[in-house]
Amino acid sequence: MWKEIEPAPADAILGLTEAFKKDNNPKKVNLGVGVYEDGQGKTPVLKCIKAAEKRLLETQTTKGYLPISGDPEYSLGVQELIFGAESDVIREGRAVTVHSPGGTGALRVGGELLKKFKPNAKLWVSSPTWANHKGIFAAAGFAVEDYPYYCPETHGVAFDAMVACLEKISPDDVVLLHVCCHNPTGVDLSATQWDRVLDIAVKKGWIPFLDFAYQGFGEGVEADRIAVEKFAAAGIDFYVASSFSKNFGLYCERTGALTIVTTSKEEAETAMSHVKTIVRVNYSNPPSHGGLAAQIILQDEALKEQWMGEVAEIRERIKAMRKALVDGLAARGVDQDFSFIIEQRGMFSFSGLSDEVVAWLRENRAIYIVKGGRINLAGLTPSNIDYVCDSIAEALKR
């Protein structure tokens, strides 16, 4: 059957990693995929995860299935993390959470659930957005549209244009919003801008779907949830996709959660009954290991504190690399002003490097950057920063 079939294109992000792995250049640098590397260029297992895994190994008595929605204690841990332990949403039982295979799984399950009950809805994503968003929602059956988000001239949010578009979105539609550390731009909404977006959501009645993949990478685990708290306080329906790939370093364990917020406990129970039917026909029930490790950490004050400290270290290392890149380019006499990179948040910078420069860096210096110019700053280390700065400076001068 495959004789007549054309190969599919490589994935824009993970395909780059495949090419990187095959590259024999000893100086190669992967600034593509959003995976954290420490100062030695390794993606570490967090110490709190090692401790939790040890405890899990010693105490786990069964490998029986988890419930379709995952362990209820995990769901509570996720809700406390994204809303705050004192949140009314939790007290009133207005939200339900299913343990999903990563943030991607959460987005897809949420997409299928929405499509089931809103078959004519369009799904709106920021322009630009994570390369996989459109594919996930298109695969769930949505027509996907863009709303303006990034302004290349100011390197900030094109807020007036964004608001003008959000004002016109139909109440039947769904709007995907990045809670913090916007992927790919690194440019986030301010608290006041979030208030405005929330006002529009309430007034127009479209459904907000919050992608929360980088909690802790912006300002801190608690500070980063400010938008989620605002939406929770508004008493409206919305969705949150959480990923623990980055903040718990659980990339390969595919650990995440979908939280559906409704306006009453009864509605939340109805939502849970339907989301379980979607999970059952997709992957039946979630993989347990990463979720159980995260659950141990979230339930243990000392481990949780250790985790928050480790997330802070990651955040600060990435911030230091932002500055090192900007200073390094300036020191090499690059005319272009890259100081905006310091203000961006999270793992990524929408660097403004053209596709020609990105291609030149890959072909001539084995430096891998996603098309469109997104740089993963967590791939920069004290050992490769000079090489990367020299190479970018040379590419820009050519």
| Helix pair 226-233, 72-83: axis angle to 10 deg | 100
> 342 and 323 in contact (C-beta within 8 Å)?
yes
With tokens 């490097």, the residue in question is: 353
What does the DSSP 8-state code read for residue 370?
A: B
Residue 214 CB, nearest distance to ligand LMR (Å)? 9
Residue 30 CB, nearest distance to ligand LMR (Å)? 10
Parallel, antiparallel, or unpaired for β 256-261 and 174-178?
Answer: unpaired
Question: Which residue type is seen at 349?
Answer: S
Gap between the Cα atoms of 210 and 231, Å rounded: 10
The single residue of 173, 188, 211, 224 carrying the catalytic annotation is 211
By beta carbon distance, the residue nearest ligand LMR is: 34
Gap between the Cα atoms of 337 and 349, Å rounded: 14
Q: Between 34 and 111, name the residue whose CB sits nearer to ligand LMR.
A: 34
With tokens 């890149």, the residue in question is: 325
Residue 374 CB, nearest distance to ligand LMR (Å)? 8
Residue 26 CB, nearest distance to ligand LMR (Å)? 24
Gap between the Cα atoms of 243 and 260, Å rounded: 15
- Residues at the contact surface with ligand LMR, assessed by CB under 6 A: 13, 33-34, 130, 132, 183
With tokens 């987005």, the residue in question is: 107
Gap between the Cα atoms of 344 and 342, Å rounded: 6
Q: Between 48 and 375, name the residue whose CB sits nearer to ligand LMR.
A: 375
Around 342, how many Cα atoms within 13 Å sit in the side-chain half-sphere? 12
Q: Is 340 helix (H, G, I), strand (E, B) or coil?
A: helix
Contacts by residues 301-305 (CB-CB < 8 Å, ≥ 24 positions apart): 303/48, 303/51, 303/52
The single residue of 115, 188, 246, 307 carrying the catalytic annotation is 246
Q: What's the gap between Cα 48 and its chain centre?
A: 21
246 is catalytic: yes
Q: Find the helix or strand (DSSP H, E) in which 391 lies.
A: helix 385-397
Residue 12 CB, nearest distance to ligand LMR (Å)? 8
Q: Between 127 and 299, name the residue whose CB sits nearer to ligand LMR.
A: 127
Q: What's the gap between Cα 312 and its chain centre?
A: 17
Residue 280 CB, nearest distance to ligand LMR (Å)? 25
The single residue of 130, 206, 307, 360 carrying the catalytic annotation is 130
Q: 284: Cβ–Cβ under 8 A, 6 or more apart, which residues?
A: 65, 68
Residue 276 CB, nearest distance to ligand LMR (Å)? 25
211 is catalytic: yes
355 is catalytic: no
Give catalytic residue positions.
130, 211, 246
